[in-house]
Amino acid sequence: MGTVITGIYNGIKNGVNNVPSDFEKAAGRPHKSPIEMIKAFKKLK
């Protein structure tokens, strides 16, 4: 089990999951930070 966990952390360290995001293309808008989402939600109330 330790070998698996070590492999996962090594992959993260080596940037295996650093892939470009298609969020903006799929959502039709740029990504919002959690703070931006909270501010937008408060404006709706």
Residue 29: per-residue pLDDT: 93
Q: Number of folded domains in the chain? A: 1
pLDDT bin (cut points 50, 70, 90) of residue 45 is confident
Give φ, ψ of 32 to 5 degrees. Answer: -110, 145
Structural domain range at position 27: 2-44
Residue 17: per-residue pLDDT: 85
Token output for 40: 């937008």
Tens digit of each residue's pLDDT (9 = 90 or more) over 4-22 = 999 999 999 999 988 888 9
- For 30, the 3-state DSSP assignment is coil
Tens digit of each residue's pLDDT (9 = 90 or more) over 17-41 = 888 889 999 999 999 999 999 999 9
Q: Which residues contact 40 (CB under 8 A, 6 or more apart)?
A: 32
